[in-house]
Amino acid sequence: MESKLLKSGKKYYLWDFISISFKVSPMAISVKFINLIITSLIPSIQVLVTASFIDRALAIFNGTAAKSSIFSPLAWMMLITIYQYLNWWLLSFVDIKLSMKLTETYRAEMVEKRARLEYRHIEDNDTWDLIKRTCGNPVDKVNQGISNILNILNIIIRVFSILTILVAQVWWAAIVIVLISVPLFMLAIKGGKATYQANKEAEKHSRRAGYLHNVLSSRDNVEERALFGYTDDLNKKWHGRYEEARLINHKAQLKHYARTKGSSLITMVISIFIIAMLLIPLSSGTITIGMFMGLVTATLNLVQMMSWQLSWTTSQLANNQEYLKDLTAFMALSEQEGALDLPEKEDKVSFNNIEFINVSFKYPGTDRYILRNFNLKLRRNLHYAFVGINGAGKTTITKLLTGM
């Protein structure tokens, strides 16, 4: 059975976040892209509007311009404020609509793919970790991917539009900002990959800790805990696994924080230098006071965006790319034919005996035989119980009987 959104054997890239979402809700993605363009251009428009407002206000104060000339920049300021206010409500509605559509389709296909997997994948620890990473909150993963792609496009358009104004006014400031952004971009990509790898390593311990937590806290295990008195022992094991996962994530977060803070300090020093250098064209009359104020505000916002938002978004994109590698591997897992077929109403299976003759079995990737030359005969209409110590092969026999 082939999915409509997801395909086996396909290699997934960042653009597939947009592709999947567009297939699910083309209207929502179209609205998001239109809003992206408008929102990205607003900071550049604000630079020009601010410059116009200040220059006209000074001209009115000096008596060289009519008071009515101030109305145009004020109207633009009001339109920008109204749009930014309404934009939040519009995007909230669009995001909810898109999440609902993704839940109905994308999440459903992930569940179906998981249901079609051959049972041997469930027995493999590495594959099970892959399944948990891929299928855990799949809608959130797609939403995060879309958000990060739109954020990076937003940054690119904002930077390009503001740099265009800077080039027209003070060309060298634009070159300095470009030189800042390249190493920050590369550093953020490296940090994002490292964070995702840390999360993968921590997930192994978290999954084990989650299982132990369930044994220690669920009502189903109350009698067993009281009978065997293993609570203290398991609690120590749970704490060890939990601490392992916490320390791995904590170490990765500290490294990310150190990189971000270091880059922000560098960019702050450079931004102060650029602002100081803008005083030169201001004193010579190359730029007006209004344009100087607009460029100073834009430069500070741009540098702050480069040091924090660019770093964070780029690292998250690297994180998203690692998830897509997992999605590619997940979709390539082999499936059981007819796994989703409904059972027939009538049981057509007829037998008198089920017999194992010299059966030997070991799990894939291991050398130890769970069963060796095992013989068993089960007769129809009789009840049987398998009794034995842990590891004797009770579960293995049951799985072989049921074809798992």
HEC readout, 352-404:
CEEEEEEEEECCCCCCCCCEEEEEEEEECCCCCCCCCCCCCCHHHHHHHHCCC
Position 208 in a domain: yes
> What CA–CA distance (Å, rounded) separates 48 from 302?
15
Cα angle 53-57-63, degrees, rounded to a multiple of 5: 145
Domain match, 208 and 79 both: yes
Is the pTM value of this prediction over 0.75? no
Tokens of 207: 């999954």
Residue 95 maps to a domain: yes
pLDDT of the residue at 247 = 79
CATH code of 83's domain: 1.20.1560.10
Asked whether residue 177 is domain-assigned, the answer is yes
| CA dihedral (78, 80, 83, 85) positive or negative | negative
3 occurs within a structural domain: no
Residues 358, 300, single domain; the answer is no
pLDDT along the chain (404 residues), means of 10: 71 90 91 91 86 86 82 88 86 90 90 86 79 86 91 85 76 70 65 65 72 76 76 81 77 68 67 75 78 78 68 77 89 82 66 86 81 88 84 84 78
SS3 of residue 335 by DSSP: strand
- For residues 50 and 94, membership in a common domain is answered with yes
Residues 165 and 291 in one domain: yes
The reply to whether 121 and 197 lie within a common domain is yes
| Pairing assessment for the beta strands 371-379 and 353-361 based on DSSP bridges | antiparallel
9's tokens: 């054997």
Collect all residues with Cβ–Cβ distance below 8 Å to 363 and sequence separation of at least 6.
123, 370
Print the domain residue range for 261: 15-331
* Distance of alpha carbon 78 from alpha carbon 49, whole angstroms: 11
Tell me how many degrees the CA angle 84-102-10 measures, rounded to the nearest 5.
Answer: 115
Locate 38 and state its tokens. 């408008």
Type of residue numbered 198: A
- What pLDDT shows up at residue 328? 92
CB 216 within 8 A of CB 231: yes
Same domain, 251 and 363: no
Amino acid identity for residue 197 in this structure: Q
Half-sphere exposure (CA, 13 Å, Cβ side) for 397? 22
Read off the tokens for 401: 């009987």
- Examine residue 7 and state whether it is found in any structural domain, yes or no: no
- Distances from the Cα of 273 to the Cα of 181, 266, 269, 299, angstroms: 16, 11, 6, 11
Number of independent structural domains in the chain: 2
Nearest partner of 153 among 18, 326, 294, judged by Cα: 18
Give me 128's structure tokens.
């099970």
374: which strand partners? Answer: 359
Q: Give the CA distances from residue 53 to residues 17, 292, 297, in Å, rounded to whole numbers and listed in that order.
A: 41, 12, 14
Task: Report yes or no on 371 lying in a domain.
Answer: yes
Task: Say yes or no: 115 and 68 in one domain.
Answer: yes
Q: 3-class DSSP state for residue 117? A: strand
Q: What are phi and psi of 339, to 5 degrees?
A: -65, -30
Q: Which of 299, 331, 363 is the last residue of a domain?
A: 331
Do 387 and 244 lie in one domain? The reply is no
Q: Are residues 381 and 325 located together in one domain of the fold?
A: no
Q: What is the pLDDT of residue 102?
A: 92
Domain co-membership, 202 together with 273 = yes
The three-state secondary structure class of 340 is coil
Which residues have CB under 8 Å from 3's CB, separation 6+?
A: 109, 112, 113
Q: Are 59 and 203 in the same domain?
A: yes
Domain identity same for 19 and 76:
yes
Distance of alpha carbon 401 from alpha carbon 356, whole angstroms = 9
**pLDDT for position 200:** 64
Q: Is residue 8, in this structure, part of any structural domain at all?
A: no
Q: Residue 9: inside a domain, yes or no?
A: no
Distances (CA, A) of 111 to 120, 298, 331, 340: 17, 47, 12, 11
